[in-house]
Amino acid sequence: MPAILVVGAQWGDEGKGRVIDGLAPQAHVVARYNGGDNAGHTVVAEGHTLRLHLVPSAVLHPHTICLIGGGVVVNPERLVAELDELAALGVDVEPGRIKLAANAHIILPTHRALDGARERARGRGALGTTRRGIGPTYADKAARVGLRAGAMADPEGFAEGVAELTKAHTRLLTKQFGMEPVSVKETAAAYYAYAQRLKDHLVDGSALVAETLAEGHTLLCEGAQGTLLDLDHGTYPFVTSSSAVAGGALTGLGFGPREVARVIGVAKAYTTRVGAGPFPTELADETGDRIRETGQEYGTTTGRPRRCGWLDLPILRYAVQVNGLTDLALTKLDVLTGIHPLRVAVAYERGGRRIERFPIAFGAEDLLAWRPVYEELPGWAEEIGGARRWEDLPPAAQEYVTFVEEAIGVPITLVGVGPDREQTIWRR
Ligand code: IMP
Closest CA to 357 of 345, 375, 339, 369: 345
Question: Quick one: pLDDT band at residue 425, thresholds 50, 70, 90?
Answer: very high
More confident residue, 46 or 272: 272
Indicate whether residue 242 lines ligand 1 (CB < 6 A): no
Whether the predicted pLDDT of 251 surpasses 70:
yes
Nearest-5° Cα angle at 217, 211 to 222: 90
**Domain 3-103+201-263 falls under CATH 3.40.440.10:** yes
Count of beta carbons in the 10 Å neighbourhood of residue 146: 21
Answer whether 99's CB lies under 8 Å from 204's CB. no
Look up the CATH superfamily of 267-426.
Adenylosuccinate Synthetase, subunit A, domain 3 (3.90.170.10)
Cα-to-centroid distance, 313 and ligand 1 (Å): 22
The domain 105-198 having CATH identifier 3.50.50.60: the answer here is no
- 310-362 pLDDT, tens digit per residue, is 999 999 999 999 999 999 999 999 999 999 999 999 999 999 999 999 999 99
pTM for the predicted model, two decimal places: 0.96
Q: Which residues are catalytic?
A: 13, 41
Residue 201 forms beta bridges with which residues?
none
CB-based contact 152:162 (threshold 8 Å): no
Q: What is the pLDDT of residues 78-120, one digit of tens each?
A: 999 999 999 999 999 999 999 999 999 999 999 999 999 999 9
Note whether 75 and 107 are within 8 A (CB): yes
Contact 102, 148 (CB under 8 A): yes
Say how far apart CA 331 and CA 335 lie, in whole Å.
9
Q: How far is CA 407 from CA 240, 320, 404, in A?
A: 28, 11, 5
Q: Where are the domains of the chain?
A: 3-103+201-263, 105-198, 267-426
Q: Are strands 412-416 and 105-106 parallel, antiparallel or unpaired?
A: unpaired
Same fold for the domain at 3-103+201-263 and the one at 267-426?
no
Kindly indicate the confidence band of residue 1, based on its pLDDT and cuts at 50, 70 and 90. Answer: low
Contact by Cβ (8 Å): 347, 322: no
Q: Is the C-beta atom of 128 inside 6 A of ligand 1?
A: yes
Query: What's the rounded Cα separation, in Å, for the pair 107 and 115?
Result: 11
Q: Ligand 1: does its nearest atom lie under 6 Å from the Cβ of 38? A: yes
Ligand 1 closest atom vs CA 35: 2
